[in-house]
């Protein structure tokens, strides 16, 4: 079996003069990308970076970071990514937890202190180093320094596909994210399955707004290279439909891989764009539910564009997808499991649920399920069910789902997000879907608020559409009353200019509760 980086190297040999990466409009050809990755892989042994060494990544997206990632895979190291906007404290925590002694970064502030606090032996900068030291090297300077001592990339030891390649940290509070460990075999299997159902091909030009700080970002950036396509990356977040569509038009984008907040921007797309972006073949979204009103608006404006609604999680990259031809009939479904993925719904006793519309926790297994949580034995013990339903291990997702009579899956809520109002269960997502169907609501999150009598009550945090800025709280509360049971109706709404987002671009309730 080949490794993930070998497949990309093969495509570099096949398409040497073809654009591999277009980052903020700057083109890097396949042969240029591969040469830079080879150079870094050849440099690492001279710097004492051994196979299986954990190497931290803390940087905005750049071609230097992408080639460093590929070079690390070639050298047999294990990448450990932290989003470049996270605090120094979070960075240090993850470096210590992973045991990383080497860091690749574009940060030049207080590096001696960082080395001491995190226990590092080496920092490699992707930008020029204003204060060079033996422990802080600019990558370009290091390559010049060891130019005559480089190990040939072709002479590096072969990397076993079963050897771990990356630790992807999940979203979590300040000091408890989990490090999901994967290997090259997992990355290959994921890429093969996802590119197959999306029918990706070498002619594709796939747009994302991604970094390398999560599994979602890594796959968005690198999966196009798996099929010899072009990865189009914008480092700046889009703030309007025009922002997105201008890139699609200028770069002749054929596909988009985005979170729902970007998809929601496209709900404001006018029909005039249909003729201006004939290249766009599909939009793929995951991470959070797509709102029905946004789906309908995008479908009306861009009827030629197929929409994939997906469900996955860091521990098992892609679990299910809804075929685009089903999106109008089942707009809230995330489809059925991919080939090779097995899922089960279980009740509180762990018994399987077979009846349609009954809610249970989703258990999942596949041949690309994570290896384990890095250095977290208790979390691993709680995460898996062993020797059940004919499988050696099943992962407890913590997500509540239901199925319809045809077997299509519907996400309901996180187990720990549902709260009680008196004796009644409140599902924030159901309220969000209701409010999002109102034409005045652009974005919405619902959070629990402590209440002396009821325990908790729902509060809706809302961003209004620009042309509905005068909509009142009472109008939206009355709308909820007309569609929801009394206990699901928010006690009040607050209007915000923007909702908080995670570093990867998903909406988050952090700061709202």
Residue 197 lies in a domain: no
Instruction: Enumerate the β-bridge partners of residue 308.
Output: 284
Count of domains observed in the chain? 3
Asked whether residue 425 falls in the same domain as residue 333, the answer is: no
Asked whether residue 41 falls in the same domain as residue 84, the answer is: yes
Kind of pairing between the strands at 384-388 and 391-403: antiparallel
Using CA atoms, how far residue 77 sits from 49, 59, 167, 341, 376, in Å, is 8, 18, 11, 28, 20
Asked whether residue 257 falls in the same domain as residue 387, the answer is: yes
Asked whether residue 253 falls in the same domain as residue 175, the answer is: no
Task: Give helix then strand counts, H and E, for the chain.
Answer: 15, 27
The 3-state DSSP class for residue 424 equals: strand
Whole-number Å distance between alpha carbons of 389 and 455: 38
DSSP assignment of 10-70 equals HHHHHSTTSEEEEETTEEEEHHHHHHHHHHHHHHGGGGT--TT-EEEEE----HHHHHHHH
Asked whether residue 402 falls in the same domain as residue 455, the answer is: no
pLDDT attached to residue 174:
41
Residue 505 lies in a domain: no
Whole-number Å distance between alpha carbons of 77 and 10: 20
**Over 288-322, what HEC string results?**
CCCCHHHHHHHHHHCCCCEEEEEEEECCEEEEEEE
CATH number, residue 431: 3.30.300.30
Range of the domain at 432: 419-495
Whole-number Å distance between alpha carbons of 188 and 198: 16
Residue 500 lies in a domain: no
Length of the chain: 513
Asked whether residue 434 falls in the same domain as residue 395, the answer is: no
Using CA atoms, how far residue 425 sits from 438, 447, 487, in Å, is 23, 13, 8
Asked whether residue 426 falls in the same domain as residue 331, the answer is: no
Q: What is the pTM of this model?
A: 0.88
CATH number, residue 334: 3.40.50.12780
Asked whether residue 342 falls in the same domain as residue 391, the answer is: yes
Asked whether residue 136 falls in the same domain as residue 172, the answer is: yes
Residue 212 lies in a domain: no
Asked whether residue 73 falls in the same domain as residue 99, the answer is: yes
The 3-state DSSP class for residue 129 equals: coil
Asked whether residue 385 falls in the same domain as residue 425, the answer is: no
469-478: long-range contacts, CB 8 A cutoff, minimum separation 24 = 471/440, 475/440, 476/435, 476/438, 476/440, 476/441
CATH number, residue 97: 3.40.50.980
Residue 214 lies in a domain: no
Residue 297 lies in a domain: yes
Instruction: Enumerate the β-bridge partners of residue 365.
Output: 342
Residue 203 lies in a domain: no
pLDDT attached to residue 510:
83
Asked whether residue 364 falls in the same domain as residue 438, the answer is: no
Q: What is the pLDDT along the chain (513 residues), one digit of tens a residue?
A: 899 999 999 999 999 999 999 999 999 999 999 999 999 999 999 999 999 999 999 999 999 999 999 999 999 999 999 888 888 988 999 999 999 999 999 999 999 999 999 999 999 999 998 888 899 999 999 998 887 666 665 666 788 999 999 999 986 544 478 999 999 999 999 999 999 999 999 999 999 999 999 999 999 999 999 999 999 999 999 999 999 999 999 999 999 999 988 998 998 888 888 888 999 999 999 887 888 999 999 999 999 999 999 999 999 999 999 999 999 999 999 999 999 999 999 999 999 998 999 999 999 999 999 999 999 999 999 999 999 999 999 999 999 999 999 999 999 888 888 888 987 889 999 999 999 999 999 999 999 998 878 889 999 999 999 999 999 999 999 999 999 989 999 999 999 999 998 877 888 888 787
Residue 20 lies in a domain: no
């Amino acid at each position: 079996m080949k490794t993930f980086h070998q497949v990309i190297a093969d495509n570099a040999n096949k398409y040497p003069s073809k654009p591999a990466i277009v980052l903020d409009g700057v083109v890097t050809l396949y042969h240029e990308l591969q040469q830079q990755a080879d150079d870094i892989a050849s440099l690492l042994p001279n710097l004492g970076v051994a196979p299986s060494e954990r190497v931290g990544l803390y940087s905005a997206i750049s071609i230097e970071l992408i080639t460093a990632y590929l070079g690390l895979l070639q050298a047999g190291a294990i990448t450990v990514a932290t989003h470049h906007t996270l605090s120094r404290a979070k960075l240090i925590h993850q470096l210590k937890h992973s045991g990383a002694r080497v860091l690749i970064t574009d940060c030049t502030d207080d590096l001696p202190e960082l080395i001491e606090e995190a226990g590092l032996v080496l920092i490699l900068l992707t930008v020029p180093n204003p204060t060079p030291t033996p422990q802080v090297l600019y990558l370009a300077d290091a390559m010049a320094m060891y130019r005559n001592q480089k190990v040939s990339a072709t002479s590096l030891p072969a990397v076993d596909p079963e050897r771990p390649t990356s630790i992807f940290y999940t979203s979590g509070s300040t000091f408890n994210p989990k490090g999901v460990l994967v290997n090259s075999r997992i990355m290959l299997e994921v890429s093969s399955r996802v590119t197959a159902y999306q029918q990706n091909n070498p002619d594709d030009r796939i747009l994302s707004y991604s970094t390398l700080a999560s599994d979602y970002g890594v796959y968005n950036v690198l999966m196009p290279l798996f099929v010899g396509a072009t990865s189009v990356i914008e480092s700046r977040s889009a703030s309007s439909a025009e922002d997105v569509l201008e890139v699609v038009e200028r770069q002749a984008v054929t596909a988009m891989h985005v979170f729902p907040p970007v998809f929601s921007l496209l709900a404001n797309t006018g029909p005039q764009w249909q003729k201006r972006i004939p290249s766009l073949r599909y939009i793929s979204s995951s991470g959070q539910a797509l709102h029905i009103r946004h789906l309908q608006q995008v479908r009306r404006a861009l009827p030629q564009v197929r929409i994939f609604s997906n469900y996955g999680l860091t521990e098992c990259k892609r679990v299910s997808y809804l075929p685009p031809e089903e999106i109008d009939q089942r707009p809230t479904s995330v489809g059925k499991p991919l080939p090779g993925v097995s899922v089960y719904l279980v009740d509180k006793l762990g018994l399987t649920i077979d009846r349609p519309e009954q809610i249970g926790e989703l258990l999942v297994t596949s041949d690309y399920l994570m290896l384990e949580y890095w250095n977290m034995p208790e979390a691993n013990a709680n995460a898996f069910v062993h020797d059940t339903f004919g499988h050696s291990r099943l992962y407890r997702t913590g997500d509540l789902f239901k199925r319809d009579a045809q077997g299509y899956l519907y996400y309901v809520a996180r187990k720990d997000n549902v709260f009680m109002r008196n004796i009644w269960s409140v599902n924030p997502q159901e309220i969000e879907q209701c409010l999002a169907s109102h034409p005045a609501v652009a974005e919405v999150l619902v959070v629990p608020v402590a209440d002396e009598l009821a325990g908790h009550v729902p509060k809706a945090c809302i961003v209004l559409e620009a042309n509905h800025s005068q909509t009142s709280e009472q109008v939206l509360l009355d709308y909820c009353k007309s569609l929801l049971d009394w206990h699901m109706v928010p006690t009040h709404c607050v209007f915000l200019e923007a909702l908080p987002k995670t570093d990867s671009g998903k909406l988050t309730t952090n700061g709202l509760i």
